[in-house]
Structure 1
Amino acid sequence: MKGPKWVGNDPKGGVKDQEMTQCPVTAGGGGRAGTAPGGEGLAAAQEGAAESQSLTTASQCFPVPPRLLYPFGPGAGDETTPVEDDGMSPEQLLQGRFSFYGRAQTSLYVNNNGVVSFGRGVPEYTPKPFPLAERIPFVAPFWADVDLRRGGKVFYRQSRERPLLARLRRDLAAAAPPQGPAPSPTWAFLATWHQVSFFGAASNKTNTFQAVLASDELSSYVMLNYGSLQWTTGIADGGNPHSGTGGLPAQAGFNSGDDLHYYNLPGSRTPAVLSIARRSNVATPGRWIFRVDEFTATEPPPTPAPSTAVPTAPPPATTEKVYVCNW
């Protein structure tokens, strides 16, 4: 039970974490999906990516980009959410048309706990599996118990700036359909969680990640960029106050709000969720891009009850390509 925020002494100090998140050596992977989609100059460089790291498949190696996140912070014209536990931005009326699972969205909230939600805020700090019974449409780059009083900030803005849109056009091309035109966004919304801590933290572990919503008035895309992910769980969900792990780890993905369309990034609600910062579905480590007006990755049907029939091989978990680390 979470109860009052900070009862007793506020933990101080702690061990500064220097570890790099590493993902398991696997040949594939894939998320779980329903019928889902096809500063003061704060540096936007991907944290912890200065070293020579790589993702591999059987025949390809992709170096980790040194600058993955889009510019953010006061120097980029961002606003910030309240510095509090379980807080959120005021309602943001969208200046561009954004379709999410076939529904035009007109406003959103940026929630401190790693969620961009449509129609209402999400103060809930315990991540739940998709689809949600509450039928709340939202994007969850990293749904976990963030506490900005322990450190970090959450930035957000809408933009029609040409340089930003030009960069988005180049980056979104990786997710364009093979025989379709490349996306040419005319509007974007960016939300960035910069070095955010967790509830009950007694260490300096922080997470940095970003969600970018983009639209060209016809198609809509979500880009998830991950910098450094060092923790998964706050203490109210059973996490360790020093390591930020254990208990019920973070959830990442999408929920349409209709009980049918959803997508869970690989490793969600398990310790392996940290690996999304070194994996990708577009061959760029730490970056995930999805078309969300019509999402095409699918999940296999539920496993049937045991029978005497001869078993057959199950269908693949998803049609996406996932690139993983090889250490």
Structure 2
Amino acid sequence: MRFKSLLCSALVFASSSVLATPIVSGLGGSAGFGENVLAANDDESSSFIDITPALSGGLDFFGTNYSGLYVNNNGNVTFANRLGTFTPYALTGATDNPIIAPFFADVDTRGGASTPSAGGNSTGSNLVYWDLDDVNNIFTVTWDDVGYFSRQTNLVNSFQLALIDKGNGDFNIEFRYESINWTTGNSSGGSNGLGGTVARAGWNSGNGTDFNEINHSGDQAGMLNMPSNSNVGVAGLYVYEVRNGVVSEVPEPSTLAIFGLALCGLLGRRKFQG
């Protein structure tokens, strides 16, 4: 019984705020982040990517259904066109290019591989990968220990975007931050990766009225601390649900604690269903 009590306490405690969130690996390819990769570049993008093999109903994003998108080197995906803009702009304004951005900043992957960041799944490749998982119905983009303009790798960032199919155009957005050490490219007013126009994170539907930036977007200290921040009580993880085209933040941290309590209830049962 003491073991059960200790385990339950651990589950509730862990579910509240202390779980680290490394980027997801094991997705195939040489680095484990998928078999598709952007060649080393500055300000470039993928061609149009059909996401329906993983998200069969597409993405219903504020009334517009998207069957594909573009992966942009500079920390975002867009739906109407490629985006080569390197100095991040506020995601709360009007745009004709809907965007989802875990870390919109001047990523430059031409500096070559670096030493992997400690404490996670990054590999030091300094490249951007994407994966279409048609088994689990997830589209994942990984920025693996990426440097900043111009060709700098003294500081690198590892973060990830996942779009998770929930059926009929519904989906979840996940931002995962494993290691953030720079916020600004040298052509965005930065010096040694800091200062100037700081990275932004959030989304914009493109309809002129529906958009959101996370609390720390554009704030240097806040963006550097993203591996410790969260909107769900799990360090380094931001989760948004998109249902019938509308984005909401869920679950609340208390929901995660309730989940831990539910697991404790299962442990307390004397009989299990066969």
TM range (shorter): 0.7 to 0.9
CA–CA distance in structure 1, aligned partners of residues 105 and 22 of structure 2: 24
Superimposed CA distance per residue, residues 65-108 of structure 1 (whole angstroms, 9 cap, x where no aligned partner): 36452434515442101211001111101212221122110110
Aligned partner letter, 2:91: F
Secondary structure in structure 1 of the residue aligned to 2:226: helix
Q: Deviations over 1:267-289 (max 9, x none)?
A: 11121222222111112110111
Higher helix share: 2
**In the alignment, structure 1 residue 149 sits paired with structure 2 residue 110:** yes
Work out whether residues 92 and 213 of structure 2, in 8 Å CA contact, stay in contact via their aligned partners in 1: no
Q: Following TM superposition, by how much is the alpha carbon of 1:202 offset from its aligned partner in structure 2, in angstroms?
A: 4.8
CA offset digits 1:31-72 (Å, max 9, x no partner): xxxxxxxxxxxxxxxxxxxxxxxxxx9xx8532336452434
Between 1:124-133 and 1:259-268, the stretch displaced more is: 124-133
Question: Match of 1:65, as an amino acid?
Answer: A
Return the alpha-carbon distance in structure 2 between the equivalents of residues 70 and 263 of structure 1. Answer: 28
Going by fraction, where is strand more abundant, 1 or 2?
2
Contact 1:280 1:322 in 2 (8 A): no
Q: Which residue of 2 aligns with 1:236?
A: 187
Q: How does 1:128-207 map to 2 (within 5 A)?
A: 128-151=89-112, 152-161=126-135, 165=136, 187-200=137-150, 202=152, 204-207=154-157
> SS state of the match for residue 127, structure 1?
coil
Contact 2:16–2:234 (CA<8 Å) still a contact in 1?
Answer: no
Question: Deviation of residue 136 (structure 1)?
Answer: 1.4
Distance 1:296 1:278 in 2: 21
TM-score by length of 1: 0.62
Residues 203 and 81 of structure 1, relative CA distance in 2, 3 Å threshold: closer
Contact 1:213–1:221 (CA under 8 A) maintained in structure 2:
yes
Q: 1:322 to 1:147 in 2, by over 3 A?
A: farther
Q: Which residue of 1 aligns with 2:225?
A: 275
CA distance in 1, matches of 2:22, 2:104: 23
Consecutive unaligned residues of structure 2, counting only runs of 5 or more, are 1-12, 113-125, 255-274
Q: Distance in 2 between matches of 1:203 and 1:192?
A: 17
RMSD across aligned positions (CA): 2.4
Name the SS of the counterpart of 2:167 in structure 1. Answer: coil
Question: Residues 211-269 of structure 1: CA distance to partner in whole angstroms, max 9, x if unpaired?
Answer: 0011122321111111100000001011112xx11001000000100111111011111
Q: Aligned partners of 1:202 and 1:123: how far apart in 2?
A: 18
| 8 Å Cα contact 2:166/2:172 also seen in 1 | no
Q: CA deviation at 1:127?
A: 0.7
Q: Percent identical across equivalent pairs?
A: 29
Higher relative contact order (CA 8 A, sep 6+): 1
Match of 2:165 in 1: 215
Alignment TM-score, normalising by the size of structure 2: 0.73
Given that 1:194 and 1:209 are in contact with CA atoms closer than 8 Å, whether structure 2 keeps it comes out as: yes
- Give how far 1:201 is off: 5.3
- Aligned residue pairs total 219
